[in-house]
């Protein structure tokens, strides 16, 4: 699939901008703080229904303005589509001119895989980065996932606030039993989805990683979770109940899930070199691309935000040659030229986009 047009109005540092894209490789280059990532952010917004970096959506509105609008026209293999995203006094999203009522209706309309320098945190940092990776992947192809996930989070919040307000002496076991039951119901559904998609990644990543490293390394993933079976999870909740009351929060569940990564049998976050961590992330993201492709029957859009800056020219070339039949949207501080690779170019200066004609 690909995006043909992006229209921005009062979005970040763009007053009014229209951009026409090619279904192949699109490069946005320019100095720092000119608005390159803002373009990626506008696409992400229309795809995932939220920003990857704004804490509050109002931050997306051009300074001193009251409302903002992003419109994206896209082409899928069997149909065209149009997303309009308004942020202002109230938020409103339209798909093909029709207002939606639930965020889950938006998910999966524009499928993306985002590569950014911060991705290294998926391996290096805490488990929340790995759960976010899973959430982004699964919610795009299984809208019911995010519905169940939000239900889980709501129940978790209720359970936690109950825990905070009781002491071991005056606890009401019956009420906690109800929360546990409800939490476990959604936990096992989320677990099933996560297990399914980790398995799909596992099927892809071995081959991709041995290509990336020229067969020197084997990579393995393990899904770590308390929630494989409902009764088992409920037992764990029970075992931790007294401790949870003292702490005032729920210490086990889907919100504590993790994925361990191993190279040649050793955990990458502990024993892997910087280079091994980087190639593992690349393999993981390329696997994500393939998994989404299998799900939707066409390649998702690849967003490379500042990702090229860290690669030398040979690695840039290898990556772009590796990925075919995919729309690629690249941001980079410098211009990129690769022999026999056609690239549509745009220069970005102070919130304005200038098409470079060859
Ligand atoms: N709501 C906003 N209104 C106006 N300008 C903004 C807003 N949010 C961010 N900016 C500006 O956008 C620029 C950063 O854009 P960004 O796309 O991250 O830059 P880069 O080209 O380095 O990727 C900064 O100049 C910042 O001041
Ligand atoms: Mg940037």
Of 77-86, 159-168, 328-337, the least confident: 159-168
Confidence band for 137, pLDDT divided at 50, 70 and 90: very high
**Phi/psi of residue 220, nearest 5 degrees:** -135, 150
**What is the pLDDT averaged over residues 248-274?**
96
Q: Which atom of ligand 1 is nearest to the CA of 41?
A: 17
Around ion ligand 2, residues with a beta carbon closer than 5 Å are 36-37
Residue to mutate (ligand 1; options 10, 12, 65, 350; most atoms within 8 A of CB): 12
Pocket of ligand 1 (CB under 6 A): 12-13, 30, 32-38, 59, 61-63
Q: What's the topology of domain 120-297? A: Glutathione S-transferase Yfyf (Class Pi); Chain A, domain 2 (1.20.1050)
Please list the residue range(s) of the chain that carry CATH number 3.40.50.300: 1-111+300-358
Do 142 and 296 meet the contact criterion of CB atoms below 8 Å apart?
A: no
Nearest CA to ligand 1 atom 16: 35
Q: Among the CATH numbers 3.40.50.920, 3.40.50.300, 3.40.120.10, 3.10.20.30, which is that of 1-111+300-358?
A: 3.40.50.300
- Distance from C-alpha of 163 to C-alpha of 241, rounded to nearest angstrom: 9
pLDDT of 358 strictly over 80: no
Of 41-45, 145-149, 171-175, 179-183, the least confident: 171-175
- The SS3 call for residue 81 is strand
Please list the residue range(s) of the chain that carry CATH number 1.20.1050.90: 120-297
pLDDT of 314 strictly over 90: no
Q: List, in sequence order, every residue forming a beta bridge with 74; answer none if it has no partner.
A: 3, 81
Q: Which atom of ligand 1 is nearest to the CA of 59?
A: 1
**Phi/psi of residue 63, nearest 5 degrees:** -50, 140
User: 69-95: buried (b, 16+ CB within 10 Å) or exposed (e) per residue?
Assistant: bbbbebeeeeeeeebbbbbeeeeebee
pLDDT of 167 strictly over 90: no
Q: Quote the ligand 1 centre to 35 CA distance (angstroms).
A: 5
pLDDT of 344 strictly over 90: yes
**What is the pLDDT averaged over residues 194-211?**
96
Residue to mutate (ligand 1; options 35, 307, 350; most atoms within 8 A of CB): 35
**What is the pLDDT averaged over residues 309-321?**
84
Q: Quote the ligand 2 centre to 308 CA distance (angstroms).
A: 12
């Amino acid at each position: 699939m690909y995006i043909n047009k992006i229209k921005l109005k009062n979005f970040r540092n763009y007053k009014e901008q229209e951009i026409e894209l090619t279904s192949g490789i699109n490069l946005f280059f320019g100095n720092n703080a000119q608005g390159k990532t803002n373009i990626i952010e506008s696409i992400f917004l229309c795809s995932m229904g939220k920003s990857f970096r704004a804490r509050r959506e109002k931050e997306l509105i051009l300074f001193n303005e009251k409302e903002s609008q992003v419109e994206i026209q896209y082409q899928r293999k069997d149909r065209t589509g149009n997303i309009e995203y308004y942020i202002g006094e109230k938020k409103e999203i339209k798909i093909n001119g029709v207002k939606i009522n639930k965020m889950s209706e938006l998910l999966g309309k524009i499928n993306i895989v985002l590569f950014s320098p911060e991705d290294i945190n998926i391996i290096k940092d805490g488990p929340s980065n790995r759960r976010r990776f899973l959430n982004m992947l699964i919610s795009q192809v299984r809208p019911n996932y995010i519905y169940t996930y939000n239900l889980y989070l709501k129940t978790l919040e209720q359970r936690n606030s109950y825990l905070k307000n009781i002491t071991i002496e005056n606890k009401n076991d019956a009420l906690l039993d109800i929360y546990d039951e409800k939490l476990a119901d959604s936990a096992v559904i989320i677990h099933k989805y996560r297990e399914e998609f980790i398995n799909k990644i596992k099927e892809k990543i071995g081959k991709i990683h041995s290509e990336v490293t020229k067969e020197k390394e084997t990579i393995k993933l393990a899904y770590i979770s308390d929630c494989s079976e409902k009764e088992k999870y409920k037992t764990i909740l029970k075992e931790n109940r007294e401790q949870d009351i003292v702490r005032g929060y729920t210490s086990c569940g889907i919100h504590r899930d993790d994925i361990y990564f191993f190279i040649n049998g050793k955990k990458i976050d502990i024993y892997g070199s910087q280079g091994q961590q980087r190639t593992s992330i690349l393999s993981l993201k390329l696997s994500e691309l393939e998994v989404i492709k299998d799900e939707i029957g066409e390649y998702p859009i690849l967003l490379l935000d500042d990702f090229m800056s860290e690669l030398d020219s040979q690695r840039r070339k290898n990556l772009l040659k590796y990925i075919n039949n995919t729309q690629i949207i690249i941001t980079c501080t410098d211009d990129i030229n690769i022999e026999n690779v056609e690239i549509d170019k745009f220069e970005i200066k102070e919130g304005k986009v200038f098409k470079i004609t060859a």
